[in-house]
């Protein structure tokens, strides 16, 4: 199935992995990149405008695109990138056969529970998907990187810039 079939969060999330045999691992493995111990002045966040489910391969594509832009422009020590959404929800698909004689081999919609095919993160509107911490000279680079990363997501997004409190 296509990714757009899983975009809208409908029904109860299917998340109890201890009962799901054969549930896939998330494609996204690193959730924090860059300098996680650095002192930065600004936080740039990517906020979705609608409640949506984001598949794990879209989150991985977002992470790769944003991290590459930041590493090329700022270097590895001048930013901290955090992915805030975790793909908990297991997606299912009732696979149908599409060849001659398939009507004798399958049940159609009878007992159509489906098998686990992927994972997704349910994200509320206005909750950050990605946060980047940078200094003042990296704010424009972070905005540009998040604009590239927003094209990987199935919803329109906005970018928010907030100063961090110095402690």
Asked if the model's pLDDT at residue 153 lies above 60, the reply is yes
Measured in degrees and rounded to the nearest 5, phi and psi for residue 18 equal -70, -20
Measured in degrees and rounded to the nearest 5, phi and psi for residue 3 equal -65, -30
Mean pLDDT of 62-79: 94
State the pLDDT confidence band at 1, using cuts at 50, 70 and 90.
low
Task: Kindly give, in sequence order, each residue whose CB lies less than 8 Å from that of residue 83, ignoring residues fewer than 6 positions away.
Answer: 28, 31, 32, 59, 62, 63, 129, 130
Q: What is the pLDDT of residue 31?
A: 96
Q: What is the pLDDT of residues 84-97, one digit of tens each?
A: 999 999 998 888 87
Nearest-5° Cα angle at 2, 86 to 158: 50
The CATH class, in words, for 23-163 is alpha beta
């Amino acid at each position: 199935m296509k990714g757009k079939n899983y975009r809208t969060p409908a029904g109860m999330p299917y998340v109890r992995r201890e009962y799901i045999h054969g549930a896939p691992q998330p494609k996204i493995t690193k959730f924090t990149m860059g300098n996680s111990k650095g002192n930065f002045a600004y936080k740039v966040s990517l906020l979705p405008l609608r409640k949506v489910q984001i598949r794990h391969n879209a989150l991985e594509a977002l992470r790769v695109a944003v991290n590459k832009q930041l590493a090329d422009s700022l270097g590895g020590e001048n930013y901290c990138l955090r992915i805030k959404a975790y793909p908990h929800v297991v997606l299912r698909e009732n696979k149908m056969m599409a060849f001659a004689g398939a009507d004798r081999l399958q049940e159609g919609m009878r007992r159509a529970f489906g098998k686990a095919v992927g994972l997704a993160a349910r994200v509320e509107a206005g909750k950050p998907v990605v946060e980047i911490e940078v200094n003042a000279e990296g704010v424009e680079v972070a905005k540009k990187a998040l604009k590239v990363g927003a094209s990987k997501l199935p919803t329109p997004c906005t970018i928010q810039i907030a100063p961090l409190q110095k402690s």
